[in-house]
Structure 1
């Protein structure tokens, strides 16, 4: 099967961040399918590699044998909301051009993954011009999440986003949703036929975690990074408006009498402000670490005691799975889940951690103190999560299932 994937934030080799599609495309390529990716030149956290300076298109084959066509994204991405909006549309224009002139031959299916929602424009145009059906994947409900977090405020843009969302759902051959809550929302609120929707969620990369569980020297790593004698709570992910990581700083302020150390790994628009706030408040039990490759992320998780999944307290986020939750599970670490809704249900069903009320530092601190005084529960929750993810969220198993749906197209 020849698959054309449109993914603005497809990771570079050794990039940190959400690697869902890098892992799926690697597996498909290894299974003998031909995968081409149309991607952007700016990481979702805002970084642009130097090799793309003054370039509008760049072709390469990544380490997994997947052909990647990088397309221009405006450098205004990090400057303001309007700058980011223009960056989205600049990728729309460049990816249409790149998809037309740098992808040769006939494809069996186009897969497009959002957010941003506007990548659907690229999918629709290429679908018409190449006479190829497309599958639309929803990783986050957009525009709802952008509205709830205050990122999208223009009445005109909101109306356009809702109109285009309805249009693209109608034109897609299938829609993949990453959580059961998305499926219910599409059927009961947005009027999408149930037989048009399938469910392939985020998942755990056991190929990496199981290797490191056997070979990684946790003691030496903790000593090297001065983590010994600490109870380490690690957060991995974006440092943006949606994540509301100020609640972690406020929690840290409540735990000065404990050996707790928070590691915040990643990057984003608010990281500089968070570091300044931590310094202003003289918070010494929070450590900021820049984005690292996936393998190193897993090393930090394995060297931690607990993983944290954190988002802003808005209703839309009750419908999402935090993708790093599955990384914590695959590394046998319990989860402090500061997200309500389906993510909370996931952790409670798996008995893999504890729910923390979002934006409630007192509750956050109390749950950490519980783990401090119940080390056996830490171990039990970690093993429960690993077992549950292995049974229900194995990336390789779900990648095969995804191919089954694409073959129907």
Structure 2
């Protein structure tokens, strides 16, 4: 099966779609990728690339990546993000369609992290490439715009909802990364089928880099948060909990990653005198297993909102695979998975006191009990999120969409 993956973000940027493509190729699919110039998360185009360039790049694994121009996202401010998103949509629909005009695919597969607008060039490409169209919804729109605060006007949100409805109904199949997403997507998609398909875990879990870890955690009960340091991660709650626990010199929070709130976090840590919180920065993905292996607990947190209740951050899969106890400071679907797996403790979103209680309870638990939680998490991961298994399931979903399109 010939698949064109449309994703604004792709290798060498670190997104789960990179490994999904590897899994699809191992499952026997012929994959081509259409993407922009890599610039996430720093907002500057990576060395060796140019924002205004377009053409074909060959991935080290041997497949083709078609790159289109885009405006770099810059420091993550609203106008910069809008220019970044819209430039990819326009250039993928024009430059991308031109470069791929002689290609034929069975399916155009959209990895729809925000913004969902990247479905627009996919609609153009599905016509020129004579393919079925499948979108894997990673974020709900317009709800994501509202919860992040980028759009607050009700009329504007209503217009976005109408656009999303139009985009969804041009698909042959919609995949939802969270089971809780399905009813919301189905309400907008009309007759287009919606199927739950979770994000897989990392393919090379536990392998890591050879040699010593790039980050060595100190002697303490180490609570590690890894990922985007942004507006929806409820990082104020994490700092509030750390402030309540700062007299306990045996607990330390390490926030690994980067994002729009990193500078604010650094300022708050210094202002509050939180010596039990550190911000070591970002590390390569192959370093993360080595960092997770040193943790006593892995933390995932989200703000309190209806859309966040329906979201499962991809770090949940990575944490489960690491075989360490989880602390889920969040509501809804992500917390349910942690509880169902028996992989750790869940507490209400944005409740610093409850987070303190969870950290204290895990710290007080026996080593054997924490190891049992880690094993339970890994078992749940193998059953529900193992990459090769999910790749086979994804291939079947795509084949079904192709059969439906050709039948029509």
TM-score by length of 1: 0.91
Give unmatched runs, 5+ long, in structure 1: none
Partner of residue 112 from structure 1, selected from 110, 113, 121: 110
* Cα distance per residue 1:173-222 (max 9 Å; x no partner): 000111111112223x43634x71222101222x422435xx978xx64x
| Matched residue count | 396
Partner of residue 276 from structure 1, selected from 260, 267, 270: 267
Partner of residue 237 from structure 2, selected from 231, 235, 247: 247
Give the deviation of 1:62 after TM superposition: 2.1
Q: Distance in 1 between matches of 2:352 and 2:61?
A: 42
Q: Counterpart of 1:140?
A: 139
Q: Counterpart of 1:401?
A: 393
Partner of residue 289 from structure 2, selected from 293, 298, 304: 298
Does the 8 A contact of 1:18 with 1:323 survive in 2?
Answer: no
Q: Distance in 2 between matches of 1:60 and 1:89?
A: 22
Q: Distance in 2 between matches of 1:370 and 1:216?
A: 34
Q: Counterpart of 1:232?
A: 222
Q: Distance in 2 between matches of 1:9 and 1:99?
A: 15
Relative distance call for 1:363 and 1:40 in structure 2 (3 A) is same
Give unmatched runs, 5+ long, in structure 2: 403-408
Q: Distance in 2 between matches of 1:312 and 1:161?
A: 23
Q: Counterpart of 1:40?
A: 36
SS of match in other structure, 2:188: coil
Range with bigger deviation, 125-134 or 267-276: 125-134
Give the deviation of 1:244 after TM superposition: 2.5
Q: Counterpart of 1:185?
A: 184
Range with bigger deviation, 78-87 or 285-294: 78-87
Relative distance call for 1:96 and 1:64 in structure 2 (3 A) is same
SS of match in other structure, 1:264: strand
Give the deviation of 1:225 after TM superposition: 4.2
Give the deviation of 1:384 after TM superposition: 0.5
TM-score by length of 2: 0.91
Partner of residue 69 from structure 1, selected from 66, 74, 78: 66
SS of match in other structure, 2:395: helix
Q: Which runs of 4+ in 1 moved over 6 A?
A: none
Relative distance call for 1:62 and 1:156 in structure 2 (3 A) is farther
Relative distance call for 1:85 and 1:54 in structure 2 (3 A) is closer
Q: Distance in 2 between matches of 1:209 and 1:306?
A: 17
State the Cα RMSD in Å.
2.1
Give the structure with the higher percent helix: 1
Does the 8 A contact of 2:51 with 2:72 survive in 1?
Answer: no
Does the 8 A contact of 1:330 with 1:385 survive in 2?
Answer: yes
Mapping 1:40-189, distance limit 5 Å: 40-47=36-43, 48-78=45-75, 80-103=77-100, 104-114=102-112, 115-155=114-154, 157-187=156-186, 189=187
SS of match in other structure, 1:183: helix
Range with bigger deviation, 56-65 or 30-39: 56-65
Q: Distance in 2 between matches of 1:396 and 1:318?
A: 27
Give the deviation of 1:79 after TM superposition: 5.1
SS of match in other structure, 2:207: helix
Q: Distance in 2 between matches of 1:88 and 1:151?
A: 14
Would you say 1:332 and 2:327 are equivalent positions?
no
* Cα distance per residue 1:80-106 (max 9 Å; x no partner): 212211211011011112321333421
Q: Counterpart of 1:204?
A: 201
